[in-house]
């Protein structure tokens, strides 16, 4: 469950990224992550545990340093025992930003889930620390996580498996590489299980910057798909056999690009600083 925000304080930013964010020419997403983590005073911990590539952590360390962060550390975890080390917990207490790289989200949850590290990150976010991640590192940020599922545009019974995520918020379910891997169907299936949550589908090189007021702003070159199931009147999830398509009535869908916003509390979308055509 999300940690309670203490009286007089504000929750930190939550920044899910759809994967394959631009690291060369236009690094606006990573640059903004540094900005909301403290700018020139940013102190960032990179957690590359989802990836099995040794160069992943050092690559992000270099990127954040080049973007002006004051201090960047890479903290990997090979066993659950690592998550109890006092030195690692202290380092996380000092950070103003925590960033999870891509890879396999189940590797992250099986190593970090239920450990002091997961608790510290939730508590620090409730005290104002920015927490973000890309690809698998985006999926784990919410309470409900898509562990794996089938690609395709239609919701199919049994095609998605959910698992507990890090639990920074229970307001949304994330899917990433959204348009590139045709993942609308699996996000809809996840919402058929849990219509309370808001579905957020992130294209590659696209991020949602979710502020302390639960207002989401889109950054990057792709689109963000919001699927709001709050007014769903009917789903056939409990009526169909596994492998069969699901009927869902009453969904609301918004397609947002850079500058557009969505409030996770009021569920109202806005074109933001985009020009809205007159009727």
Active site residues: 135, 177, 204
Environment class of 9 (CB within 10 Å of its CB; exposed 0-12, middle 13-18, buried 19+): exposed
Tokens of 194: 């849990």
Rounded Cα–Cα distance for residues 56 and 213 (Å): 32
β-bridge partners, 174: 200
189 three-state secondary structure: helix
For Cα atoms 188, 194, 196, give the angle at the middle one, nearest 5 degrees: 105
Considering only CA atoms, which of 36, 96, 43 is closest in space to residue 69?
43
Query: Residue with structure tokens 């090189």?
Result: 205
**CA distance linking residue 150 with residue 163, whole number of Å:** 15
Tokens encoding 265: 């509390």
Q: Provide the token pair at 141.
A: 């940020």
Query: Do residues 183 and 224 lie in contact, with contact meaning Cβ atoms separated by under 8 Å?
Result: no
Count of CB atoms within 10 A of residue 210's CB?
25
d(Cα 193, Cα 227) in Å, to the nearest integer? 14
Centre a 10 Å sphere on the Cβ of residue 208 and count the other Cβ atoms it contains: 27
């Amino acid at each position: 469950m999300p940690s309670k925000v203490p009286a007089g304080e504000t929750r930190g930013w939550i920044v899910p990224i759809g994967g394959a964010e631009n690291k060369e020419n236009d690094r606006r997403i990573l640059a903004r992550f540094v900005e909301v983590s403290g700018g020139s005073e940013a102190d960032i911990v990179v957690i590359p545990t989802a990836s099995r590539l040794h160069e992943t952590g050092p690559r992000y360390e270099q990127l954040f340093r080049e973007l002006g962060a004051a201090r960047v550390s890479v903290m990997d975890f090979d066993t659950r025992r690592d998550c109890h080390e006092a030195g690692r917990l202290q380092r996380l207490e000092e950070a103003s930003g925590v960033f999870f790289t891509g890879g396999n989200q189940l590797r992250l949850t099986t190593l970090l889930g239920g450990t002091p590290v997961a608790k510290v990150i939730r508590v620090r976010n409730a005290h104002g620390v920015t927490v973000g991640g890309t690809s698998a590192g985006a999926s784990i940020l919410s309470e409900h996580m898509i562990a794996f599922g089938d690609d395709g545009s239609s919701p199919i019974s049994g095609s998605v498996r959910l698992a507990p995520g890090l639990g920074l918020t229970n307001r949304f379910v994330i899917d990433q590489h959204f348009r590139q891997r045709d993942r609308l169907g699996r996000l809809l299936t996840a919402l058929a299980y849990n219509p309370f949550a808001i579905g957020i589908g992130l294209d590659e090189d696209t991020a949602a910057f979710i502020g302390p007021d639960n207002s989401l702003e889109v950054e990057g070159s792709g689109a963000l798909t919001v699927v709001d199931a709050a007014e769903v009147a009917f789903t056939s999830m409990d009526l169909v056999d596994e492998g069969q398509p699901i009927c869902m009535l009453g969904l609301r869908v918004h397609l947002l690009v850079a500058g557009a916003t969505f409030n996770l509390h009021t569920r109202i979308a806005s074109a933001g600083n985009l020009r809205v055509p007159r009727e």
